[in-house]
Structure formats: structure tokens, C-alpha cells
A = this chain, B = another copy of it.
Amino acid sequence: MSQDFVKDITKRDVDFAQWYTDIVRKAELADYSSVKGCMVLRPAGYSLWENIQRYVDDRLKEMRHENVAMPMLIPEHMLLKEAEHVEGFAPEVAWVTHGGDSELAERLAIRPTSEVLFAEHFRNIIHSYRDLPKLYNQWVSVVRWEKTTRPFLRTTEFFWQEGHTCHVDHDDADREALLILDLYKEVCEEVLAIPVVGGRKTESERFAGAIETYTNETLMYDGKALQITTSHHLGDNFGKAFDIKYTAKDGKEKFVHQTSWAITTRSIGALIMVHGDDRGMVMPPRIAPVQVMIVPIAQNKAGVLENAKALEDKLHSEKIRVRLDDSDKNPGWKFNETEMKGIPVRIEMGPRDIENQQVIVVRRDTGEKIAMPMEGLTENIVKLLDEIQKNLFESAKKRADEKTEYMEDRETFNARIEKGGFAVTPWCGDASCEEKVKEETTATSRCMTFEDNEEPIVGKTCPHCGKEAKHIVHWAKAY
């Protein structure tokens, strides 16, 4: 029985896409629904999202952001107000045309994103410099009519937070967009244990309506990149399109400068593809809904369940997220379940362990088995959870570093793109050059570092077209 459980999963190196789907299903993270491209987030998947939410929400509130809720529907004429924005989103909008039995006078878009709703509200409530900055956020789902979908990675409906802020000028908006990029880096690296590369998007990869899109990019196990979070500086594009003005200290009327930014359920797809292995999901302890699973051995023997329950209570009282599996499944089956679900630590406790005043502790990340005395157990489990968190980040960082390569010639570039990973090169800054790279290699520019026209760019040429280099770009095939 125990063997079959694992054999059910495709191996990562055999078929990564199938492995991914297997994990999503077998670890009970999500299920398909009868609505095209929409998934059911199951308790294990949704609680990951709740933990991400809690961390991000607390941090945003510390930074003085306030939560609000906008309608999920957008009248068509509003979506048309900002030209680039509508061009970017119109092709993937779900349209509501009927309410009950009546056809609507104007069709309504289910929000693909909410810039225009916030813009309209900001126009109503912002009058003076005293009303600025406005730092708003909402936790909702959005709908984009995608052609091909995969659970978490690309779904017709997905969950996110979307931050929308208004500022007195360009610099204050830019400061906010970069602060949020830093916050997202902190969430990715310290909570999700996923190393990221931060930077700016090239013009052609920018959000529709933004003057600058900042991004955190990360590498999956298979070497493909994933944009895990973005933060957009919108300039005064929406301010002008929606007439959001304020009276400045000098009495002059000015347009607000805005930002918008998001982290989505896509980050759970990244969690799977960065940390998961051939035995199932692997959850970093800081985000794991269950950090420790206690599996009693010979649980029908006198004292076993009582001791296991006492241990559960003890760990629980120390704020460890612990569960006891006292179901009537056999221990081997339970071991496989904790591994498949990616629970960071398993504690095995049988009659002999109780006699010896110890337990067997098994790490999900390394598979290592450790006999730990009951004395000092709580402290040692807390230490172990920290150690696992650190190890997962470091392992992921090592894999990413091994797949990240700087080059100044096209041959090395092609080889790296073929193998997977980030190929880092100087670049001229021309959209046509970027487009040509994409056509020839299917790699896209993921981000530019922050040192445009500075060392180490000066004097370099673009290996793709031979012109003078102005930026350093991370390229990769991407999700």
C-alpha cells in the first residue's frame, strides 16, 4: 500500500507538467470544477492562501494601508477610459449582459483588475493634499478569460490582493511601488522560502497603463521563470483619464500619481514547483497550515494515544501548528500522507519510544530520521522548523544560482536558454531586438536590473543585435 501511494506520482524529471498536476490533486490542494479554467481551492490549498494573506495583510497594515472592497463589476464605458489599459484587458474580459430576464442597457465586465473602479472612487474622495497619500488594498478574486489554464499558475478566476494608492507626485508614487516590491521580496524569500530576482520590466512587458512595472522573478525546478509578484507605477495616466485632482499646498490643482500591485494564488503554484519533490508537496514551515504531524505507532496499545495527545497539547500550547493523526489507517499509510501533503515534520511515537522517553522525528525536506528525547522536545522542534525553513530557501537559492549565467555572446545565451534558467546579458533597449530574441528562442525578458547605463553596462554591446548596451536583462523561458 505505502509504495503505491508514491508510485501514483509521475517523476519530476520524467514529465514535470504531469508531476505538477499529480501534486495538486494528490496533496489535495485543488480540484477541477465544471467551469472552464476555474478551480476549487481545497482546505490544504486555501489555508496556504490564508497564511499568505495573514502575513501580507499584517505587514500592509503596519505600513498604514487600509482595506476596502470595490464592486466586482465594471461598466464597459469605464473600462474604455484609459486607452492602453483597455487594449491590454479587453480581449480577456468576461461580460455580463443579462440581469434576471432582462438584457442590460450597458454590458458589465467582471473585473480583470480594478484600476478603473479605484480611479472613480478616488476622484470622489480626494480633494486636498491632506487626503494624500491614500493607501488602499483589497482581497478579492478576478476573472480573465484564459485560453489554456493550469491550477494556480493560470486560471480563469484567481485570488489576489490588489493595492491601489494615490500620491502627491511621481517620486512619492515611485517610492511606494519600490517599498511594495521589497515587501513582496520579503514574503517570497522569508515566508515562502523562494529566492527572487527583483527589477524593472522592459516597456513591452509592462502592465497595461503603467509607466513602470517592477517585478520579482523566480526560477522553478525545471528552469522556467515565473513572475511571482509585480508592483506598477501608473504615473498620472489614470489621474488624467479619470480627472483625479487635488489642491496642492500652493493652491494649484494637480493630478495624483498612482501605483497598483498584487500577489496572487499563483504564488502557490511557485511553492509547489520550487519545493515539491518526487514524494509530493513540500511546505516551508512558516507557511505550512500543519507544521508537525504526530503519528502514533501501535496506537491501540495502552498509553500510546494518551501520550500522543499530551504531546499534541504541549506543542500546540507553544504555538506550533500540530495535528495528531489518530484515524484507523495504518502508520505506513499515514507516513505517506504526511509526505504527500508536504508537512514539514512528522513525529512517530510508539510504546518503546514512550518507555525510552523519546520520539522519532522525520524531516520532510531531507528525509532524515532523528531520535529526540522528550526533554527539551518543544525547543528542539522549534529549532528544527527554523532549520528546515532555512534549508529550503538555501537549496532553492543554490539551484537558482546554478541556473543563472551571465554572458555577452549569443552562443552561450542560446545554450543557457535551451537548458533552462536565467541568461543574463547586456541589452540595447530596443523593443524590436527584444521581440526578435523571443521569436528565435521563445525566451522573454524577465527583468532589467536597477543599474541602467551604469557599471557594469558601460562599453558593452548587446549580444543580440550588436548595438550599444543600456541595460542588464535576465532572460528566460517563462510560465
Contact = CB atoms under 8 A, between A and B. Distances in A.
Interface of A: 31, 33-35, 38-43, 46-47, 49-50, 66-75, 78, 90-101, 107-108, 110, 117, 120-121, 124-125, 130, 136, 140-141, 143, 145, 157, 159, 327
A145 B103 CA distance: 12
Pairs A-B, 10 closest by C-beta atoms: A38-B71, A99-B145, A41-B69, A43-B66, A95-B98, A97-B97, A35-B71, A100-B145, A91-B100, A35-B73
Contacts of A74: 35
A72 B31 contact: no
B31 A75 contact: no
Contacts of A78: 34
A100 B110 contact: no
20 contacts: A31-B121, A31-B124, A33-B70, A35-B71, A35-B75, A39-B71, A40-B68, A40-B71, A43-B136, A46-B66, A46-B67, A47-B66, A49-B69, A69-B159, A72-B143, A73-B94, A91-B100, A92-B100, A97-B98, A130-B327
Copy count, this protein chain: 2
Given A33-B121, A38-B72, A93-B99, 5 more contacts: A72-B72, A73-B157, A93-B100, A96-B97, A97-B98
Given A33-B120, A124-B31, A91 B101 contact: yes
B92 A95 contact: no
A40 B117 CA distance: 9
Contacts of A327: 130
Contacts of A140: 141
B71 A47 contact: no
A73 to B, nearest CB: 5
Contacts of A101: 91
A460 B93 CA distance: 61
